[in-house]
Amino acid sequence: MDKRSFVFVLILSISLFLFNVWFMPPIAAPIAQVQEFSANPQERLYVLENGTQQIVFSNLGGALKKHRASD
């Protein structure tokens, strides 16, 4: 790769990074909550939810217990 191509790729990468930082709004990360409503005392249920869906995971094998999508 010659010097001009390297400089072009470097400037393009930096400009795309700065565009992303300045103009794209941050996305809120889902919040994990531990629920204790399981029949098995060793099982913990983790709830991830945002504005459009709710997903419940189990710590036993990482199984998906419940999924609810809002319309």
- What is the per-residue pLDDT for 43? 77
Confidence of residue 16 (pLDDT cuts 50, 70, 90): very high
Q: Which residue has the higher pLDDT, 69 or 53?
A: 53
Q: What does residue 45 show for φ and ψ, rounded to 5 degrees?
A: -110, 130
Both tokens of residue 68?
């609810």
- What is the per-residue pLDDT for 37? 60
Ranges of each domain in the chain: 3-69
| CA dihedral sign of residues 20, 23, 24, 28 | positive
The structure's pTM equals: 0.41
Closest CA to 69 of 52, 57, 56: 52
pLDDT digits (tens, 9 = 90+) for 32-66: 665 556 567 777 777 877 778 888 887 777 777 77
Across all residues in the chain, what is the average pLDDT? 78
Per-residue b or e along 7-43, where b marks 16 or more CB atoms closer than 10 Å to that residue's CB: eeeeeeeeeeeeeeeeeeeeeeeeeeeeeeeeeeeee
